[in-house]
């Protein structure tokens, strides 16, 4: 078994695809409209779905925003240098909500960014 994807509901699909591709450097892997169900699915990731897990961005055409609730945590991405990644994400227009640095009560270097719908994405520096 392996993880295939994680699904996030998004209010504006174009804005979300732009964030994950232009700010976080993922690729749009596939996209499909379902007119009868009034929704679109867009899959983004760093490599082919046959080899890596992806994010499924689900846009329900009649819903502009979602309540994130208090059960959602975050998606985590490994980066070579969390400090450099934060600088690049800010340069690309992304929002860093926790600057890179050692995690509280540990030595792992982490940072957090926020996508356009408010979902948190953790950056974990490789090797720490």
**What are the domain boundaries of the chain?**
5-60, 75-125
Q: What is the pLDDT of residues 13-58, one digit of tens each?
A: 999 999 999 999 999 999 999 999 999 999 999 999 999 999 999 9
Give the position of tokens 């689900």: 58
Predicted pLDDT at 19: 97
Is residue 85's pLDDT more than 90? yes
pTM across the whole model? 0.87
Please give the pLDDT value at position 59.
96
Exactly one of 14, 56, 99, 122 is catalytic; which is it?
122
CB 111 within 8 A of CB 82: yes
Same fold, 5-60 and 75-125: yes
Domain 75-125: CATH superfamily, name plus number? 2,3-Dihydroxybiphenyl 1,2-Dioxygenase, domain 1 (3.10.180.10)
pLDDT band at residue 1 under the 50/70/90 scheme: confident
Q: In the CATH scheme, what is the code of domain 5-60?
A: 3.10.180.10
56 is catalytic: no
Alpha carbons 99 and 50: distance in angstroms, whole number: 33
Cα–Cα distance, 115 to 123 (Å, whole number): 13
Whole-number pLDDT of residue 69: 85
């Amino acid at each position: 078994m392996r993880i295939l994807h994680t699904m996030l509901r998004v209010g504006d699909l174009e804005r979300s695809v732009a964030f994950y591709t232009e700010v976080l450097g993922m690729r749009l892997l596939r996209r499909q409209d379902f007119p009868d169900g009034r929704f679109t699915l867009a899959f983004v990731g760093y490599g082919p779905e046959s080899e890596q897990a992806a994010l499924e961005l689900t846009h329900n055409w009649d819903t502009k925003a979602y309540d994130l609730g208090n059960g959602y945590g975050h998606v985590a991405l490994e980066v070579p240098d969390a400090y450099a990644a934060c600088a690049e994400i800010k340069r690309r227009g992304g929002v860093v909500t926790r600057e890179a640095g050692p995690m509280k009560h540990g030595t792992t270097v982490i940072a957090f960014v926020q996508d356009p719908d408010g979902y948190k994405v953790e950056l974990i520096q490789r090797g720490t």
